[in-house]
């Protein structure tokens, strides 16, 4: 029993380390790619590490209250939980995490855990921009949840299971078996929803830096901010892994390292897509993005669902 727990702890640690480092580097490299788009040199790839270290290394911090203090903890717990309830690399015990505790629905709803905690922490800061950002973020969230939910439902209808592992398993045997190709409408709806989920342009009104100084975390600083940055990495990683598992066949190979490499390539491409869109489009207002998500993506999602149910 004890050894099982220790092994699991060790595996979890490894899994977390992999995703954390990978996601930080990914964020760094994407920032550099964006810089190239803008004709700049761009920050070093390892810049996110330095930022996080610096923030953890700040000497002072202020707290507005218990919820403010716990907000980033909730947020990080939400990110970690979302990641840990998913299998990352198909077929390896080391990377199956705690996916035995729940299925796709658990993952979808655990995303809310961090959102809620962060929103509460931001709320207690007393800064009006924080809840303003939160209200924008939550409003957008409900909007992109709908096409995303439709996409997920379509996949569930397609494969008759809610288990992520089984969904990945069903996509094995070549790229033609990926959901992206067997159920393209679901993929399109899901990938459009992912744009909103990643809060890049054109859906970045939540953190609009000039207008409402980065929105919810406007009062967050020092280690609190460090924690949020850590979460940003892990949570982004988790989301990309989720989308990879759902739409792009997951990552698997008989050698672990190759499997991880596949994961890296796929998630890199997914993130690249988000960044390309982000670099190309201006920002939507909140109501515009709500209307956007409830428009074409939702219709595509409904088509996906209807195609699967008949």
- Residues 30 to 69: which contact other proteins by CB under 8 A? 31, 35, 38-44, 47, 50-51, 53-54, 56-67, 69
Residues in 244-273 that interact with other proteins by CB under 8 A: none
Which residue of 109, 173, 280, 296 would you call a contact of other proteins, by CB under 8 A? 109
CA atoms within 13 A on the CB side of 182: 22
11 sits near other proteins (criterion: CB under 8 A) = no
Minimum Å gap between C-beta 259 and other proteins is 23
3-class secondary structure, 65: coil
Which residue of 87, 190, 226, 250 would you call a contact of other proteins, by CB under 8 A? 226
DSSP string, 9-42: HHHHHHHHHHHHHHHHHHHHHHHHHHHHHTT---
Which residue of 19, 146, 188, 238 would you call a contact of other proteins, by CB under 8 A? 146
Q: Which stretch binds other proteins (CB under 8 A): 192-200, 222-230, 235-243, 247-255?
A: 222-230
295 sits near other proteins (criterion: CB under 8 A) = no
Minimum Å gap between C-beta 281 and other proteins is 19
How far apart, in Å, are the Cα atoms of 123 and each of 14, 182, 215, 224? 34, 43, 11, 14
142 sits near other proteins (criterion: CB under 8 A) = yes
Minimum Å gap between C-beta 27 and other proteins is 13
Give whichever of 104 and 262 is closer to other proteins, judged by the CB atom: 104
Which residue of 20, 45, 138, 303 would you call a contact of other proteins, by CB under 8 A? 138
Q: 136-147 as b/e, with b when 16 or more CB fall inside 10 Å?
A: bbbebbebbbbb
Closest CA to 305 of 171, 192, 147: 147
173 sits near other proteins (criterion: CB under 8 A) = no
Number of residues that bind other proteins (CB under 8 A): 109
Closest CA to 248 of 197, 181, 189: 181
Distance (Å, whole) CA 3 – CA 7: 6
How far apart, in Å, are the Cα atoms of 112 and each of 43, 75, 201, 235? 32, 9, 22, 12
287 sits near other proteins (criterion: CB under 8 A) = yes
Cβ–Cβ under 8 Å, residues 81 and 110: yes
Minimum Å gap between C-beta 100 and other proteins is 7
Cβ–Cβ under 8 Å, residues 249 and 175: yes
Give whichever of 187 and 262 is closer to other proteins, judged by the CB atom: 187
């Amino acid at each position: 029993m004890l050894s099982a727990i220790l092994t699991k702890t060790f595996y979890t640690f490894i899994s977390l380390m992999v995703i954390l480092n990978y996601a930080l580097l990914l964020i760094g490299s994407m920032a550099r790619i964006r810089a190239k788009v803008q004709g700049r040199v761009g920050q070093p790839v390892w810049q996110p590490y330095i930022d996080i270290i610096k923030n953890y290394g700040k000497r002072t911090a202020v707290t507005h209250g218990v919820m403010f203090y716990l907000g980033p903890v909730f947020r990080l717990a939400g990110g970690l939980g979302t990641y840990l309830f998913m299998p990352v690399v198909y077929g390896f015990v080391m990377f199956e995490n705690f996916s035995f505790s729940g299925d796709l629905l658990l993952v979808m709803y655990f995303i809310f855990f961090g959102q809620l905690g962060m929103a509460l922490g931001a709320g207690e800061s007393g800064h009006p921009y924080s809840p303003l950002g939160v209200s924008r973020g939550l409003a957008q969230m409900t909007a992109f949840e709908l096409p995303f939910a439709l996409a997920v439902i379509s996949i569930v209808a397609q494969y008759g299971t809610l288990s992520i592992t089984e969904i990945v398993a069903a996509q094995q045997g070549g790229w033609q078996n990926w959901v992206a190709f067997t159920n393209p409408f679901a993929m399109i709806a899901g990938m459009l929803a992912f744009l909103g989920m990643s809060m890049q342009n054109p859906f970045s009104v939540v953190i609009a830096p000039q207008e409402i100084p980065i929105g919810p975390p406007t009062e967050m600083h020092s280690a609190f901010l460090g924690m949020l940055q850590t979460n940003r990495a892990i949570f982004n990683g988790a989301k990309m892994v989720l989308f990879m598992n759902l739409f792009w066949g997951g990552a698997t190979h008989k050698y672990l390292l190759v499997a991880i490499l596949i994961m890296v390539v796929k998630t890199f491409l997914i993130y690249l897509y988000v960044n390309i869109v982000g670099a190309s489009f201006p920002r939507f207002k909140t109501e515009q993005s709500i209307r956007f998500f409830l428009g074409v993506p939702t219709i595509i999602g409904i088509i996906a669902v209807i195609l699967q149910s008949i």
